[in-house]
A and B are shown apart, each in its own frame.
Chain A
């Protein structure tokens, strides 16, 4: 988490609900409704500013979107049907919607810890299999990347600095494969450890935490604003 403001204090369930609602509304809004998009942008930016999110950090992360957007828009120009003006309009629409939807999830991620997001998904009754897999991914991605790093260093220490780029890629592929095989072994040991502690398909111990007053006020303000943008503008 990179900020200490309004959104950080809110219940992650409210943030996820707001994020999904805004992303869905943006996706379903016709591309020519520029006023509405401006209102959605305000709904995204105001809480982000109140949360004192670092704009530089947020913009840096937004840069990740550029290659994907460039690929989509160029494909549209090269392979799409219709006149150039229409392609520009559609491309612009894709760009605006993508930036807004990506921005929604970026604000969520920058103001909420990964574990809190998964716990909130569990409380929002997302399928348990899905949330369990997310819990495991969070726990073991670091373990796996640490192991890959160790294997890579072990191989590099015996290459005496003579490894070319191609060999390095080849090595990485082998290390990843080896790690995959080890991960299968590890998964069996983890499953055994789970069985030992009475596992019967249930993971996590989510509590039925109630929303606080601040969460409800935020929800009313956010969904009220979204409703107004959809109905009045």
Chain B
């Protein structure tokens, strides 16, 4: 497999009837790296994440572990890149915790016993033992975020992409999630405003504004550049 987990070249995308929200985005993420995408609201971070596994397909080149994203490769790439959405209510669309976590494996052509085994293991690993039959709408936001993460990790993706993982969490929930993310091995891409979390978790960062990558570099360098951050509402 390629040493580059993700390569994006000259990516353009516009939602129907709107101005372009990605305008020539290019960057790459190495295997095993934790990469941050920071930027103000409306910068295009969430839209960019949706291009990583072909939910959206703009103009330009997206390559995942050396495999170009095309209609014939999208199904395979969706197994490799798991996306955790910002609002857990969008991610937890099934009635119970078990159904939500088991949804991905059930679509992977593996037998039910294996689906149950994987789901149980993942719930245990994320401190959610005993939650299987709980209705998704009766969880706290922190629990919902953990179940959302479990619902993606259970598919054992090579790349984990997270959209604003700490948004709306209380300080305790935020710390717990950061600890959890640090303990997860593999390539991670985190789109966020939470610069403290980026400082704790990411080795490199891309700063995005109005659909353009403004700067890419070592997290410490970019986060230390106060002028650059303030110029882009961070």
Nearest A-chain residue to B135, judged by Cβ: A115
CA distance A67 to B227 in the complex (A): 69
Cβ of A86 under 8 Å from chain B: no
Cβ of A81 under 8 Å from chain B: no
Cβ of B91 under 8 Å from chain A: yes
Q: Which residues of A contact B106 (CB under 8 A)?
A: 202, 204-205
Which A residues from 193 to 233 make CB contacts under 8 A with B? 193-200, 202-205, 207
Cβ of B82 under 8 Å from chain A: yes
Partner of B55 from the list A118, A138, A196, A205 (CB cut-off 8 Å) is: A196
Contact present for A200 and B93 (CB under 8 Å): no
Contact present for B50 and A192 (CB under 8 Å): yes
Q: How large is the interface on A (under 10, 10 to 19, 20 to 34, 35 or more residues)?
A: 20 to 34
Cβ of B83 under 8 Å from chain A: yes
CA distance A192 to B93 in the complex (A): 11
Q: Which residues of B contact A204 (CB under 8 A)?
A: 94, 99, 106
Partner of A193 from the list B90, B108, B115, B155 (CB cut-off 8 Å) is: B90
Nearest B-chain residue to A114, judged by Cβ: B95
Cβ of A77 under 8 Å from chain B: no
A156-198 near B? 1/0 per residue, CB < 8 Å: 0000000000000000000000000000001001101111111
Contact present for B107 and A136 (CB under 8 Å): no
Contact present for B107 and A197 (CB under 8 Å): yes
Q: Interface size of B by Cβ–Cβ distance < 8 Å?
A: 33
Contact present for A197 and B96 (CB under 8 Å): no
Which B residues from 106 to 137 make CB contacts under 8 A with A? 106-108, 112, 115, 135-137
Q: Beyond A135-B95, A139-B137, A142-B137, is A197–B151 a contact (Cβ under 8 Å)?
A: yes
Contact present for A143 and B152 (CB under 8 Å): no
Q: Which residues of B contact A207 (CB under 8 A)?
A: 112
Partner of B99 from the list A143, A196, A205 (CB cut-off 8 Å) is: A205
Cβ of B53 under 8 Å from chain A: yes
Q: Which residues of A contact B92 (CB under 8 A)?
A: 139
Which A residues from 112 to 153 make CB contacts under 8 A with B? 114-115, 118, 135-136, 138-140, 142-143
Q: Beyond A142-B137, A190-B93, A197-B151, is A205–B115 a contact (Cβ under 8 Å)?
A: yes
Contact present for A193 and B53 (CB under 8 Å): no
CA distance A190 to B50 in the complex (A): 13
Tell me how far the C-beta of A192 lies from the nearest C-beta in chain B, rounded to whole angstroms: 5
Q: Beyond A135-B94, A205-B99, A207-B112, is A198–B89 a contact (Cβ under 8 Å)?
A: no
Q: Which residues of A contact B115 (CB under 8 A)?
A: 205
Tell me how far the C-beta of A119 lies from the nearest C-beta in chain B, rounded to whole angstroms: 9
CA distance A196 to B79 in the complex (A): 8
Cβ of B87 under 8 Å from chain A: yes
Tell me how far the C-beta of A46 lies from the nearest C-beta in chain B, rounded to whole angstroms: 30
Partner of B53 from the list A186, A196, A200, A202 (CB cut-off 8 Å) is: A196
Partner of B107 from the list A114, A138, A198 (CB cut-off 8 Å) is: A198
Contact present for B93 and A205 (CB under 8 Å): no
Contact present for B90 and A186 (CB under 8 Å): yes
Q: Which residues of A contact B151 (CB under 8 A)?
A: 197
In the assembled complex, 20 residue pairs joining A and B whose CB atoms fall closer than 8 Å, in A order, are A114-B95, A115-B135, A135-B94, A138-B95, A139-B92, A139-B137, A189-B85, A190-B93, A192-B55, A194-B93, A194-B103, A195-B55, A195-B78, A196-B55, A196-B78, A197-B78, A203-B94, A205-B106, A205-B115, A207-B112
Given contacts A193-B93, A198-B78, A205-B103, 7 further A-B contacts (CB under 8 A): A115-B96, A139-B137, A142-B137, A143-B137, A194-B103, A197-B155, A200-B107
B interface residues with partner A (beta carbon < 8 Å): 50, 53, 55, 75, 78-79, 82-83, 85, 87, 89-96, 99, 102-104, 106-108, 112, 115, 135-137, 151-152, 155
Please name the 3 residue pairs, one residue from A and one from B, whose CB atoms are nearest each other, closest first: A198-B107, A197-B104, A205-B106
